[in-house]
Amino acid sequence: MYAIVRSGGRQHKVAVGDVLTVDRITDVEVGSTVNLTPLMLVDGDAITTDAGKLEKVSVTAEIVAEHKGPKIRILKYKNKTGYKKRQGHRQRHTRVKITGIES
């Protein structure tokens, strides 16, 4: 059994026991549990995509860690004008472990 869930504007394929990295989930601490929104549920040959039936499905995950992604370096440059701007960014991520998919 696996499910397609939405987290942070992205979709992830998850099964029980999977550990995945999602965009930062705010207002949670390491060790707490969160519910993820299912978009599709596959149980053997049965595929559920109906929104009414998916309201009864719960995908629970445990927060394992919070970390930062790789450094992204941005350089803006315009020729012959002396304009150069350097900027950096590190996206925050949350690592979650899927603990249960219940329908």
Q: pLDDT digit string (tens) for 55-92?
A: 999 999 999 999 999 999 999 999 999 999 999 999 99
The pair of three-digit structure tokens given for residue 17, joined into one six-digit string? 């026991």
| pTM for this model (two decimals) | 0.82
Instruction: List, for residues 8-52, the tens digit of each pLDDT value.
Output: 899 999 999 999 999 999 999 999 999 999 999 999 889 999 999
CA–CA dist 99, 15 (Å, integer) = 9
At residue 71, the pLDDT reads 97
At residue 6, the pLDDT reads 94
CA–CA dist 53, 42 (Å, integer) = 13
CA–CA dist 95, 65 (Å, integer) = 5
Checking if the pLDDT of 103 tops 90, the result is: no
